[in-house]
Structure 1
Amino acid sequence: MKLKSLTIAIALAATSASTFAADKEEGFYIGAFGDYYDASWKNMRAQAGLDVNESTGWGVEAGYRFSDYWSARLEYADMDFNAFDKVAGNRNSIDGERYGIDALYHLNGGPFYGLFGIKEMDVVDDNTFLNAGVGYQHFITDGLFVNAETAVYQGLDRGYTDVGAKIGINYLFGQNSAPVEPVKPAPEVVEVAVAPTDSDNDNIADADDKCANTPMTDAVDGTGCTLYEDKEVTVSLLVTFPNNASAVSTQYLNDIEKVSAFLKEYPDTTVLLEGHTSSVGKATYNKWLSKKRADAVAEQLVSDGIAKDRITTVGLGEERLKNDANTKAANAENRRVEAHIKTIKNVKVLR
């Protein structure tokens, strides 16, 4: 009952103190402890009928904490056993000693630990035991700690099975285990998008723009240059004449100047002037008159600065009547010179 009470007390003390466990430490330590041992040794001296029961005592230990998880210790205990002499019929005390070595495994590097070891007990005669148990240690300061543990002892010589418990105080000559600093991830590099410079606002960055300062009205290609497209441009001329006349009326001078301007703007173009007459009169005469009318318009173009080799005239007479009705109005409409000029112009594409 005494051992059971002590074991329960140790467990309660360990549980209540668990929140006060100190950091794991490494180094040498020494300590002293109070010891309780519940023996069940019958007839140790058969001739005397000596039974050995529980023991109380004290002890010292020295150990080394190798890491957060492992430590080892040497132990010595001075024991005072309660013995019963069945021959004499009385109880008396018997001195004994226990010494040996233990290995301790600290669960998760924390305050609770398991232990196993081998002990030699010198009580009346020598006996060897294997022991295993559990314990708890609590650091009061960086070096000072208390511990409580209980263990089962199995005899190798006579097959005794005993239990024991102890409470001790120790001092560790070491230093705190350096905590492993978590590896901090490298800061994430956030790329800030910088809008490329576009000086002429044509949506093409200056670094890619091969045509700087394009007008804002122009559509551009992928290199920032103005886009062009082919477009057909035309100009037409119609000059009419009185009956049997070939002189150019002043009312048509502006129209002829427009043709001259077109020819100057597009120097690769030429003009064909077609002269016509009505069906009145002889065909041969009308042929001659129509050519004379075309030549009259050509002379006006030359006077405006157009080279003669760019002008061709032809007299078609009454071959291509514009209006074949036999009326004064139809005849007036047919007395004419016509020209139609067209070319391809490369023009800007606007946005």
Structure 2
Amino acid sequence: MTIIHTPNRLLMAISAVAVLVGSTAANSDTEYEVGAGINYFMFEDDFNVADDVGFRGYGGLRFDEHWGLELVWDKLATETDPTDLGFDLSQYYLSGLYHFNQTETLQPYLSLGWGQGDFEVSDVGYSATTTSTNIGAGLKWFVNEHWVVRPSINYFMNTEIDEDFTTLGLTLAYVWGGGSTPAPAPVRAKAPADTDGDGVVDTSDRCTATPAGVRVNAQGCPLDSDGDGVFDHLDNCPDTGSRLKVDVKGCPMQLSETVAIDLKVNFDSNSDVVKAEYFAEIQRVADFLAQYEGTSVVIEGHTDTSGAATYNKALSQRRANAVAAVLVNRMNVPAGRVSAKGYGEERPIADESTRAGREANRRVVAKVAAVAKSMELK
């Protein structure tokens, strides 16, 4: 190993400090970093020095998202190889860094530096100085906003000697200032909106204006326990049947009128047998009765003036009875709510001189009477 003395360490340090201070003054948004750690030195064989672990300390600044400068000091105490003489190395260098992924937690970087090293073989009282250029790469891992773990590798190319060496570093650094955005704070997901505060988020809430304190279902709507269409907190009659029509206060509406239903039921000539094809027509009466409590129905039979009046009246009674029997026996309407009456030709509704008029008069009518005021269904 041939070493040429070049005592320029003081000049280099002054220049480095001047560069750092000048850069800081030029940018008020500068970020600062100081760190320390260990360094593993790997020497080329011709260097005749044993590989070993040393120490590293540095201070630096970063004046924009990508670019930074560092002043680094490395220190090593090892032995020559193979003579086992004490060997000390102390080097200083200034490096420029270019960062990638500058807004992420993991930021790779490349470096290029220049400096000088002092070598001393203590057992023989020999020392020397050489300048060197180094290239490197590393990774900054921002554990949080201020603390950074840095693995790195640097290759040193010495100017005054032929042999080079490599270092593997691992340091812990503290960062402050605001030049870059090294460790973005985790973005907390915004809580889903719940405008009415009922515990159901707006995206699932079908009733977004529910008053405070009102119990709601999974869709965010107030409860309607009796199923009458009026929410519980507005319902003055909470036990109303679900089929009953109610007012805005949830109370049943009253019915006090008689309703007539014309039935299109035809009979064969001189017959009182109800054909199955008319059951659906009669079902309309059964359904209507189910909607009104406290009502009853009168099935009225009517004929035209053809034939003897006495016969026609009897025939209309038999036909009315037949329709009433269908309501009771097939459609389960209580017998007490059904009656039948034949009027024969006594109550015509059309002109008997025409065929159409006579057909209109041959009819069956169901009259539902509100015997007592009842609750009207929907």
Same topology, TM > 0.5: no
TM-score normalised by L of structure 2: 0.34
| Bigger strand share | 1
Which structure's CA Rg is the greater one? 1
TM-score normalised by L of structure 1: 0.36
